[in-house]
Structure 1
């Protein structure tokens, strides 16, 4: 459903410490997906991942049926985005900021085969 939160990424300087913290706090387990990217198994749909420059707070992904149209509309409304990128087998994403500079991301799932 467009606009629904469908993924969250929690950045951490030390993903092992973060996984231990959230595991103790919420009883979350994680599975390694790709290197230091750890999908949350029994909590919200999301992952614990390495923090990067400019990415030090949780990142929320909102669903969209048409990421190109959503990015165009975002720009019309005064927001900005990075280029849309494709994650093979997963879908397409765009990291964005609203018209007040608040970060979020858009996600369009890959077509089901």
Structure 2
């Protein structure tokens, strides 16, 4: 994934039943998916993203914005009145941080490896 600072570069669509969600979006948009561990289904011929299991606190689409410097971006989130969870490293992929803006709207940051 090329990184352009501030651009949406990944989405995750949470579903109570990922098989039903894959059938729905496959029927609606023709999306095909590849399964990864954890019932995580990467969309192969649609937007950059995945269909994933719904969890407590994760019931709406999650949007990831690209950053070229995770540490600087999470510092700015805090300075601007937002909040973030711990930065996580995804081996071979990069780093992510789930955040909220100063009004409580959730978003995530992604810095490629």
Q: Which TM-score tier does this pair reach, normalised by the shorter chain? A: over 0.9
Distance 2:38 2:15 in 1: 14
Aligned-partner SS, 1:61: strand
**Partner residue in 1 for 2:85:** 82
Consecutive unaligned residues of structure 2, counting only runs of 5 or more, are: none
Deviation >4 Å, runs of 4+:
none
For residue 99 of structure 1, the aligned residue among 74, 94, 102 is: 102
Distance 2:38 2:87 in 1: 23
Q: Any idea what the Cα deviations from partners look like across 1:72-102, whole Å, max 9, x if unmatched?
A: 0000000000000000000000000000000
Distance 1:25 1:87 in 2: 31
Matched, 1:23 2:26: yes
Deviation at 1:67? Answer: 0.5
TM-score, normalised by the number of residues in structure 1: 0.96
Aligned-partner SS, 1:53: coil
Deviation at 1:35? Answer: 3.0
Distance 2:38 2:58 in 1: 18
For residue 50 of structure 1, the aligned residue among 40, 48, 53 is: 53
Deviation at 1:33? Answer: 1.6
**Partner residue in 2 for 1:108:** 111
**Partner residue in 2 for 1:62:** 65
Consecutive unaligned residues of structure 1, counting only runs of 5 or more, are: none
Work out the number of aligned pairs and report it.
Answer: 110
